[in-house]
Amino acid sequence: MAETEQVHDNSSNEEEESLEPETSRSHRRFKASNMAFVEMVEMVDILKRTDYDGKHGPYLNPNVRKAKIMTKVVKSLQKNFGVRRSKDQLRKWWSDLKLREHDQYRRIRRVLQKSDGDVVEEGHFTSESAQILIGEIMGCNRDLENLKQNISDVQNKIKNIIDILGRI
């Protein structure tokens, strides 16, 4: 009986460990792929609404406050999209959006301004949400065309190299 309790206690400890992304082992459990646009919209919406950057006043314990806000973001992404991400990943995405990904950040802000936070409300598909989705599709098509052009350029370069090598 004591052995089964001990096994049960160990499994509950493992579950508690998996909730805290502090060790390198637990970092592997979080999704490391790129964030979907709607996930970024959700994250930026929460961070802007809660004044994550602290632009609207001095706050007591700003680091504790930021950690609580980021916990909110983690929970929201898991609930709404079924994706677990660490606070560190989200902090990096936020920093990258503001400092490096200006175009993407502007697109997200436009979506938030137009839709007031929800890209498409479940069960309420409106012309506004359709326009947002069409804009997203157009952006993806543009990115796809750019990728196709880059692939074509690389294929042409490879053909030229093969032709040159064939003459040697």
In this predicted structure, the answer to whether residue 26 has a pLDDT above a threshold of 50 is: no
Host H or E run for residue 80? helix 62-81
Nearest to 92 by CA among 137, 30, 29: 30
Give the pLDDT score at 115: 63
* pLDDT score, position 10: 43
Domain parsing of the chain, residue ranges = 31-119, 125-168
SS3 label, residue 20: coil
3-state secondary structure of 121: strand
- pLDDT tops 80 at residue 128: no
Instruction: Label residue 21 by pLDDT band (50, 70, 90).
Output: very low
66-108 pLDDT, tens per residue?
999 999 999 988 888 888 888 998 998 898 888 888 888 888 8
**Which has the minimum average pLDDT: 35-39, 121-125, 144-148?**
121-125
Q: What integer pLDDT is reported at residue 123 of this predicted model?
A: 55
**More confidently predicted of 25 and 126:** 126
Residue among 17, 38, 24, 16 nearest 88 (CA):
24
**Cβ atoms of 120 and 132 closer than 8 Å:** yes
pTM: 0.49
Give the lowest-confidence range in 63-67, 116-120, 124-128. 116-120
Name the more confident of 63 and 18: 63
Other C-beta atoms closer than 10 Å to the C-beta of 118 total 16
Residue 124 DSSP SS3: strand
| Tokens encoding 140 | 């993806």
Query: Taking 60 as the threshold, does the pLDDT of residue 13 lie above it?
Result: no
Q: What is the 3-state composition of the chain as percent helix, strand, coil, each rounded to the nearest 5?
A: 75, 0, 25
